[in-house]
Structure 1
Amino acid sequence: MRVAIVSESFLPTVNGVTGSVCKVLDHLADNGHEAMVICPAAGSPSHYRGFPVHQVPAVAYRQFPVGIPNAQLARLIGRFRPDVVHAASPFLLGAQAIAAANRQDIPSVAIFQTDVAGYARRNRLGSASKLAWRFVRWIHDGADRTLAPSTSSRNDLEGAGVQRIELWGRGVDLDRYHPNHRTRPAAAALRSLLSSNGRDVVVGYVGRVAPEKGLERFAALRGIPGIHLAIVGDGPSDASVRKLLRGMPVTYLGRLSGEQLADAYASFDVFAHTGTEETFGQTLQEAHAAGLPVIAPAAGGPIDLVRHGENGYLFDPDDDRDFALRVASLVVDPELRMRMGEAGRRTVIGTSWSSVCDELLGHYQAVIAARAARRRTPVGSHV
């Protein structure tokens, strides 16, 4: 199979879109398929896993490159002659890629991953939220199939009038994130740093430090005894979050990846996610794989991932006191933490990246077959 992946984000930018695209490319390479990547110009490598990476003109917006539609994109797709076009979190580039695929009679799959309308709501843009959903519908209407990462995002898409939606989640590396890693020297050393007296419960967060992530909510934990906060990540809200949490027991670990990130998860006792705009929530899966109880808002993707009272808690996103109460209940109960952590690990056992990407290949094959069937059906005929 030949797959053209058009992504609004790629290396060296690190985020959920880039991460999932790389996992898909790894799976394609490991299983003998052909692929190419088209992405915004941001200093990306010329190849990834032997597949060519083509950069197109982009402008910077809030530290991110945003691809500009241009004639080069359609030519690249035409020369590659893919069996399917994969539009990752389609925006400007993705919209052009889907349109180009239709002109060239190539099926396309659109991966919904960014809550554009949520951004409009958070920034009090009023009617812009409705316009954002219209834009999302316009993009996805052109695709043969839209893949939503959660039931919440699927419901949002259906409410906006998007059709041909299927669910497709995300995988997690069950070996990299594992409860046994708590005994690794690097993880143990980090835990000693975070819990200097050996008794503090480490409440960890992993993700961007940005407005949409709601880290200001951690201020509600001020005064809870026996905790130490650990924040992994960086971003535009770093200074304001540090100012708000000043005086609290918190360590800022910066951006981590690979084994360092795995060791960070292994040093936590509880994982807390504070943002309400997640279409999925990859870090929640990683925390579950690491054997941690997860506390997250009852909004968006976390609703599918956190089984309230079993592998963590879902708190009222409009009540910071509820968030604090959920954290406090786990801080004082190590047996509950262990029980929920074990349940979290069981939750993700069947969601390896290999199985999830095999499911994606099934979606590719379905839209290829459907497009071929339409070609065989004469215009105006009835089946």
Structure 2
Amino acid sequence: MRIAVITESFLPTLNGVTTSVRKVLDHLRLRGHEAMVIVPSAGAPREYAGFPVHSVPALAYRQFPVGLPSPHVQRLLADFRPDVLHAASPFLLGAQGIDAARRLGVPSVAVFQTDVAGYARRNRLTAATGFAWRVVRWVHDGADLTLAPSTASLADLERAGVDRLARWGRGVDLDTYHPRNRLDPVVHRLRQRLAPRGETIVGYVGRVAPEKQLERLAALRGLDGVRVVIVGDGPSMPSVRRALKGMPVRYLGSLTGQELAAAYASFDVFVHTGTEETFGQTLQEAHASGLPVIAPRAGGPIDLVDEGVDGYLVEPGDDRGLRAYVELLSTDTALRARMGEAGRRAVLGRSWESVCDELIGHYERVRAERTERVRLAR
């Protein structure tokens, strides 16, 4: 097949959307498909996995390039003649791509990944919440199929009136993120640096942004034998540093590849504080690394954390609950080990290869349905 991928985020920006798109492109190359990519400009590479990458005009918003509608999109799709359009986290650019594909008779698959309405709620834009969902419905109504990463996202989209839905999760690199990494001398040295007296390391990985609510880690202040480690960067770093001032916290910045895998392996407990995750990729990576996970009972984490088996879910805003679970796990090494092993087992069936093969199945489905509709219309 020939797949045109249009994404609101791509390299050099690192986030869940970029990671997912890269994994999809890697898999399309592995399976022998053809692809091309349309991205917002701002330093994007000219090709990825051997596929051409085309940039369109963008403006910067909160350190992210936001793709603007451009007549270039229609021309690129017409010239490439794709069998399917894949729209990753579609907004302005993705909406234009979906509309252009429809006019060209090309079926489209839209992947819902960003909780736009959650952003409006968090910023107390009550009137904007309904508007945000109307925008989501407008964008996704044009797609032949919308894929949501979690049961919570599916329910939100159904309530918003979006039709033609299916669930599609995310894969995890089971080899890179592995419990055996704890035996690596690099990880041993990192642990000595982060917790020189053998303290329990409570770690977070991800963007440091308002929606991640990392300021809530202040609830861990004063816990004996606990060190907090934050991997990532973003616009909320000054606010987080102020909230956690005086606590034993280490900031490692943004990490990728083996450095990121080593960071996970240096943790004893993984904590996520944001309540607006449509999925929660870092929770999967933590589980793959053999870590127990503590996360809010909201959004994607509800599907990823088996309460009391491989971690704990905390009611949103319950800082006392967060502290209590961290304290429990920090003092019970046997419980950490059992939960970490259970987390690893939970993700063994979620390799990127199997998840992306499932995605190709969705491509084939919308392509066959479009072909059948055209046949019946004759």
TM-score strictly above 0.5: yes
Secondary structure in 1 matching 2:377: coil
Asked whether 1:177 is paired with 2:177, we answer yes
Question: In structure 1, how many angstroms separate the alpha carbons of the residues matched to 2:317 and 2:11?
Answer: 35
Question: In structure 2, how many angstroms separate the alpha carbons of the residues matched to 1:31 and 1:277?
Answer: 33
CA RMSD of aligned residues (A): 0.6
Question: In structure 2, how many angstroms separate the alpha carbons of the residues matched to 1:322 and 1:191?
Answer: 27
Letter of the 1:223 counterpart: G
Equivalent residue, structure 2, for 1:163: 163
Q: Per-residue CA shift, 1:114-162, capped at 9, x if unaligned?
A: 0000000011111100000000001111100000000000000000000
Equivalent residue, structure 2, for 1:267: 266
Q: For structure 1, list consecutive stretches of 5 or more residues without a partner in the other structure.
A: none
Equivalent residue, structure 2, for 1:334: 333
Letter of the 2:172 counterpart: V
Equivalent residue, structure 1, for 2:254: 255
Equivalent residue, structure 2, for 1:234: 233
Question: In structure 2, how many angstroms separate the alpha carbons of the residues matched to 1:378 and 1:95?
Answer: 26
Q: Per-residue CA shift, 1:41-90, capped at 9, x if unaligned?
A: 01111011110000000001111100000100011000000000000000
Letter of the 1:196 counterpart: P
Structure 1 segment 259-338 matched on structure 2, within 5 A: 259-338=258-337
Letter of the 2:237 counterpart: D
Q: Per-residue CA shift, 1:154-200, capped at 9, x if unaligned?
A: 000000000110000000000000000001111111111111012x1
Secondary structure in 1 matching 2:290: coil
Q: For structure 2, list consecutive stretches of 5 or more residues without a partner in the other structure.
A: none
Question: In structure 2, how many angstroms separate the alpha carbons of the residues matched to 1:31 and 1:346?
Answer: 27
Alpha-carbon shift at residue 378 of structure 1 (Å): 2.5
Question: In structure 2, how many angstroms separate the alpha carbons of the residues matched to 1:138 and 1:369?
Answer: 24
Structure 1 segment 16-27 matched on structure 2, within 5 A: 16-27=16-27
Secondary structure in 2 matching 1:127: helix
Alpha-carbon shift at residue 318 of structure 1 (Å): 2.4
State the identity as a percent.
67
Secondary structure in 2 matching 1:377: helix
Q: Per-residue CA shift, 1:271-316, capped at 9, x if unaligned?
A: 0000000000000000000000000000000000000000000001
Secondary structure in 2 matching 1:337: helix
Letter of the 1:11 counterpart: L
Question: In structure 2, how many angstroms separate the alpha carbons of the residues matched to 1:318 and 1:197?
Answer: 31
Structure 1 segment 1-383 matched on structure 2, within 5 A: 1-198=1-198, 200-378=199-377
Alpha-carbon shift at residue 240 of structure 1 (Å): 1.2
Question: In structure 2, how many angstroms separate the alpha carbons of the residues matched to 1:126 and 1:156?
Answer: 16
Q: Per-residue CA shift, 1:326-373, capped at 9, x if unaligned?
A: 111101110000000000000000000000000000000000000000
Alpha-carbon shift at residue 223 of structure 1 (Å): 1.0
Secondary structure in 1 matching 2:13: coil
Secondary structure in 1 matching 2:246: coil
Alpha-carbon shift at residue 239 of structure 1 (Å): 1.0
Alpha-carbon shift at residue 99 of structure 1 (Å): 0.4
Letter of the 1:274 counterpart: T
Letter of the 1:193 counterpart: R
Q: Which one is further off, 323-332 or 151-160?
A: 323-332
* TM, length-normalised to structure 1: 0.98
